[in-house]
Chains A and B, each alone.
Chain A
Amino acid sequence: MNHPPFASQTSRRRRGSLAVVAAALLLTATAHAQPGRPPYYQPLDQNTPPGQTGAWLNAIRGYDQAWLQPMRVQVTGGGRVDVFSGGNTPVAGRTSPLIVAASAGHLYRLKVSEMRLFPGLEIYPTVELVDRLHPPAGREDEFPVPIIITADDIKIALRGQLVTRVIYLEQPQIAASFDPLDAEIPQSVAPTDNALQEADRLGRPMAIIRIGGRQPSAGSPPGFFGTGGAVQVRPVPEQQNPPTAAEVGLPSQVLQTSGRKPVR
């Protein structure tokens, strides 16, 4: 028999053992790095009944109901926006764009009418304000949460579908290099994904917008029009109406405004 040298045999065994160990570690690492699995339990998602997410967060965090978070509501092509809050009579309204300052943790119903692109049409989307920002005192209106209702949204709603958007404040560490002057950068998630969790992964969810085609009627309960948070309507500050290229020189303001991207 031709026996190999002892040193060579030992080396071969050692290499074989190292190969087995390496394969084992690779398989283990692959098993623990499975994509798509939520790292923690998330009870809320985009299908949670409207108002529940805000109510839970309001109960947990105890938002200051006297402090009103500004939202910049804009309708593509122009239109009039009236705001309801827990009653069938609008609290206030203005022509788009406008600043709607509202209490965090509440659901609000908007009435969008007099749209130039959709004459004679009225839609009633809702805005659920789930969080608030902490802008410098006295400059709150310079850092609003953008609420943009596009023509595509309205067309989808008229087809009997429901458009749900989650607007979040992105984390600077993982922020993508989008154009800071874009008012919104829509991203889509799969139907089986949790849009709220995805927004939470990318940043801090601020608002949930739902756009459908349902019209209120005389028998609509007050809860249809929101949960009764405080609301103020103000005009948009001049430097935001409309954003121009000259504002490129104001990166702090523009980046804050455009840094919130909707996930739908």
Chain B
Amino acid sequence: MRYYFLALGALVVVCTGCAGLDSGSSILANREHIAPPAEMMTRPGPMVDGPGPGVLAMLAQPGAQPAMAPMPAMSTQVKFVGPATMTVGWQVGSGYATNQLGSGGYYDFQQGAIYQLVLDGVGFPNAPERRLYPTLEVRNAHPNTMAYLQHNDVPVEITAQDLDQIKSSNMVTKVVYLPDSEFQSRAISGFETLVSTPLDPGVDPVQQAEQMGTIMLILRVGSKDLQPAASMVGADGEVTQVSYQTLDGNEGQMAPPTPIGYLAGAVGGGVPPAMIAAGGGVPGQAVQPVAGMGGMPVWGMPITGTPIGLPGPAHLPLGAPAGLQSHTIRNLSNNYVPEPAKHMLIDVQHDPGYNLPEPVRHIQYKESHPVHAAGEVAHPASKAAQFYGF
């Protein structure tokens, strides 16, 4: 019998050990420490990052040091590397500023915006030079790309293959991204460019790049001419050419680009910054929107004359005596409107979930010092006068 229990105990130990070898949902896996995403590490959350609800910055203790690193306003330095004959311009207000940069030049674009570029002189030995109007989407910095963007420019290049696709009226999308560590072949971080043309039909290059890293730039270029040579015929029959407001960098007319659109806050990700839920930033004030105030409709006020959305009857007698005494509309639709939910339950699950180490609860510090009795130690002769007086 005792051998039976010995074998049974050994079997339990074997099973426990084998379970530990599994890298999935095993005993050891539960002991792993798994960090939250990088953006959560940057902005830890309420009561850690920034003032919590009802706490004003003016009430902060003087001399307190914030634990967060100062995040400078980020711009992405875009370097236009080719072709060699290309000059770069961009939309400024309702006009354009051309020849602002030469090939090899760079410019710091504010992040989270889309810019309309004007590329002149895009040509190759076998292709005549032409003007292109691409859009440049500059993504917000992500904690994964912040170090790279603060130390590197992001190159943009139009190749001969791109120009062939554009001549065939195809749209070319170039996504410049920073690969995640598992997609990097070396420890040195470097950008990657994903071009839409060699991808299979139906494959979204943006989605593809997001699966492999963090996007920094998206260049979309096609054959559309945004400054066509058009003319208008006046009332007197005179033909007038349409003119565009244009600044020429070759004549010293420089202007910064104007974004044609801004990216939503969700693009680029990240936890929203700490804020106080209060109207106008002052605690105690009502939070907009409030029904009936600030342009919001009064709660319960229908915006149409009938409950089902149809216009109501005319209220003015159109030249005849008012005789209508009753107007009834019955809604016979077989609608089912359930009762509102009184209790909501949302189950979320991270796999694997965060697993942080237990905080330190006990520190035992022990020092052992040698104890010498009288006569066990000797003083050097040079110190004899100090200790013995002779």
Name A's B-contacting residues (CB within 8 A): 13, 17, 20-21, 23-25, 27-32, 34, 37-38, 40-43, 46-52, 54-56, 58-60, 62, 107, 124-126, 156-157, 159-164, 188-193, 195, 210-215, 217, 219-224, 227, 264
Q: Which of A40, A50, A124, A211 contacts B33 (CB 8 A)?
A: A40
Check B146 against A27 for contact (C-beta < 8 Å): no
Given A50-B150, A221-B73, are A189 and B187 neighbors across the interface (CB < 8 Å)? yes
Given A189-B187, A211-B151, are A37 and B32 neighbors across the interface (CB < 8 Å)? yes
Given A17-B6, A161-B189, are A49 and B143 neighbors across the interface (CB < 8 Å)? yes
Chain B residues touching A, range: 35 or more
Check B68 against A55 for contact (C-beta < 8 Å): yes
Q: How far is the CB of B354 from chain A (nearest CB, A)?
A: 10
Chain B residues with Cβ below 8 Å from A30 are 17, 21
Q: Which of B21, B71, B146, B181 contacts A31 (CB 8 A)?
A: B21
Check B71 against A223 for contact (C-beta < 8 Å): yes
Instruction: Decide yes or no whether B38 CB sits under 8 A from chain A.
Output: yes
Cα distance A192–B183 in the bound complex, in angstroms: 9
Flag the segment in B7-15, B92-100, B228-236, B327-335 that touches A: B7-15
Chain A residues with Cβ below 8 Å from B10 are 17, 20-21, 24
Check A214 against B150 for contact (C-beta < 8 Å): yes
Check A214 against B75 for contact (C-beta < 8 Å): no
| 20 A-B pairs whose Cβ atoms sit less than 8 Å apart in the complex | A13-B3, A25-B17, A27-B14, A32-B28, A34-B28, A41-B35, A47-B143, A49-B71, A50-B147, A55-B66, A55-B68, A161-B189, A163-B188, A190-B187, A191-B187, A210-B147, A212-B150, A213-B153, A214-B150, A215-B77
8 further A-B pairs in the complex, CB-CB below 8 A; given A160-B190, A212-B150:
A24-B13, A31-B19, A42-B35, A47-B38, A49-B42, A162-B147, A213-B153, A221-B73
Check B153 against A23 for contact (C-beta < 8 Å): no
Chain A residues with Cβ below 8 Å from B152 are 157, 160-162, 212-214
Check A54 against B14 for contact (C-beta < 8 Å): no
Instruction: Decide yes or no whether B191 CB sits under 8 A from chain A.
Output: yes
Closest to B182 in A: A192
Check A164 against B189 for contact (C-beta < 8 Å): yes
Given A28-B17, A55-B70, are A224 and B191 neighbors across the interface (CB < 8 Å)? no
Chain A residues with Cβ below 8 Å from B73 are 221, 223
Question: How does the 8 Å CB contact mask read for B10-38 relative to A, with 1 for contact and 0 for none?
Answer: 11011011111100000010001101001
Cα distance A164–B152 in the bound complex, in angstroms: 12
Cα distance A43–B42 in the bound complex, in angstroms: 10
Q: Which of B67, B151, B188 contacts A126 (CB 8 A)?
A: B151
Name B's A-contacting residues (CB within 8 A): 3, 6-7, 10-11, 13-14, 16-21, 28, 32-33, 35, 38, 41-42, 65-73, 75, 77, 106-108, 143-144, 146-155, 181-182, 184-191, 356-357
Chain B residues with Cβ below 8 Å from A124 are 151
Closest to A55 in B: B69
Check A58 against B65 for contact (C-beta < 8 Å): yes
Cα distance A56–B152 in the bound complex, in angstroms: 24
Cα distance A24–B17 in the bound complex, in angstroms: 7
Closest to A58 in B: B65
Instruction: Count how many pairs of residues, one from A and one from B, have CB atoms less than 8 Å apart in the complex.
Output: 180
Q: How far is the CB of A241 from chain B (nearest CB, A)?
A: 28
Check A27 against B189 for contact (C-beta < 8 Å): no
Chain B residues with Cβ below 8 Å from A190 are 187
Q: How far is the CB of A62 from chain B (nearest CB, A)?
A: 8
Q: Which of B41, B69, B72 contacts A221 (CB 8 A)?
A: B72
Q: Which of A25, A191, A213 contacts B184 (CB 8 A)?
A: A191
Q: How far is the CB of B109 from chain A (nearest CB, A)?
A: 10
Q: How far is the CB of A175 from chain B (nearest CB, A)?
A: 22
Q: How far is the CB of B41 from chain A (nearest CB, A)?
A: 6
Chain A residues with Cβ below 8 Å from B28 are 31-32, 34, 37
Closest to A220 in B: B108
Q: How far is the CB of B353 from chain A (nearest CB, A)?
A: 13
Chain A residues with Cβ below 8 Å from B32 are 37
Most buried by A among B108, B144, B184, B186: B108
Check A222 against B72 for contact (C-beta < 8 Å): yes
Check A223 against B14 for contact (C-beta < 8 Å): no
Check A28 against B20 for contact (C-beta < 8 Å): yes
Q: How far is the CB of B234 from chain A (nearest CB, A)?
A: 44
Chain B residues with Cβ below 8 Å from A162 are 147-148, 151-152, 188-190
Q: Which of B70, B106, B182, B187 contacts A195 (CB 8 A)?
A: B187
Check B69 against A52 for contact (C-beta < 8 Å): yes
Cα distance A21–B6 in the bound complex, in angstroms: 9
Check B182 against A126 for contact (C-beta < 8 Å): no
Check A49 against B146 for contact (C-beta < 8 Å): yes
Closest to B185 in A: A191
Check B14 against A31 for contact (C-beta < 8 Å): no
Chain A residues with Cβ below 8 Å from B187 are 164, 188-191, 193, 195, 264
Q: Which of A17, A49, A161, A224 contacts B147 (CB 8 A)?
A: A49
Chain B residues with Cβ below 8 Å from A220 are 75, 108
Q: Which 5 A-B pairs have the closest CB atoms?
A: A223-B72, A212-B151, A31-B20, A27-B17, A28-B17
Q: How far is the CB of B222 from chain A (nearest CB, A)?
A: 26
Closest to B179 in A: A191
Check B153 against A215 for contact (C-beta < 8 Å): yes
Q: Which of A163, A188, A217, A227 contacts B69 (CB 8 A)?
A: A227
Check A59 against B66 for contact (C-beta < 8 Å): yes
Most buried by B among A125, A188, A210: A210
Cα distance A27–B18 in the bound complex, in angstroms: 7
Chain B residues with Cβ below 8 Å from A31 are 17-21, 28
Closest to B110 in A: A219
Check A223 against B20 for contact (C-beta < 8 Å): no
Cα distance A42–B35 in the bound complex, in angstroms: 8
Given A191-B185, A210-B147, A212-B152, are A28 and B13 neighbors across the interface (CB < 8 Å)? yes
Cα distance A45–B106 in the bound complex, in angstroms: 30
Q: Which of B38, B67, B77, B357 contacts A40 (CB 8 A)?
A: B357
